[in-house]
Amino acid sequence: IRNTEKAPGAKMLPVLFWYLKVCRAVLIAIHSEFCYSIFIKNHVYRKQHRKDKMMYLIAGLGNPTREYDKTRHNVGFSVIDVLADKYNIDVSDRKHKALCGRGVIEGEKVLLLKPQTFMNLSGESVAELLHYYKIDPEEELLVIFDDISLAPGNIRIRKKGSAGGHNGIKNIIAMTGTENFKRIKVGVGEKPAGWDLADHVLGHFDAADRVEVEKAIGHAVEAAEMMITGETDAAMNRYNVKKKEE
């Protein structure tokens, strides 16, 4: 006669299997939640760590030597000079083909830069410093330069863009591999009819234009302060308006 009686505990096997499956699912959920929380914590830490290490590179473009001091092409240098004076930053350290100085502006760490490569090779200096200090050009680079399409007294802020015919910006784009960096254009006026462009941008302002340009330099300083503290849009709204003709 066949014994059909189940072995002791056989009735408990389905329940045991179900219990083990539930335990496994719970363990997987706990492990997943633990890994996710670690990921989030690390992401937040890395983001905060990056912010703590963040340093802005503010580069004003121009040509070295006294011959070009205060010329139209050197208004970028002039803005850097005013920033350096206002925040007591010594821009006399000669390295990476530039004059530069580190300091703090509106609570943000900055590196002020005046490339000494002459205008058309400005990117060599900028790229070297970006690499040396591990600065992200698309987040932490601000370039200030002259623009003949703007009248003296006007400035124009852009978050990115092409060189627009400016050789200094063209070289920065070529050397950094991106055109997605912030910039402030300072108006120096169009060249007079019949003039050579080089003669115009390497020339000095007349007395009337000098007054307007000094105002624009002050506005560029204020715009730079706003931009490094995350107020680029507000700066654009404030300054990207043509000065009304008097």
Point out the residues that are catalytic: 73
Closest CA to 60 of 125, 130, 131, 5: 125
Which residues is 145 bridged to in the sheet? Answer: 185
Asked if 47 and 136 count as a contact pair (C-beta separation under 8 A), the reply is: no
**Which residues face 147 on adjacent strands?**
187
Cα separation, 99 vs 112, in Å, equals 8
User: What is d(CA 23, CA 130) in angstroms, rounded to the nearest whole number?
Assistant: 53
Cβ neighbors of 11 (< 8 A, separation 6 or more) are none
Structure tokens at 233: 């849009």
Please state whether beta strands 182-187 and 98-105 pair in parallel, antiparallel, or not at all (unpaired): unpaired
The 8-class DSSP code of residue 154 comes to: -
Structure tokens at 183: 């910039």
What three-state secondary structure class fits 224? helix
Would you tell me how many other CB atoms lie within 10 Å of the CB of residue 96? Answer: 21
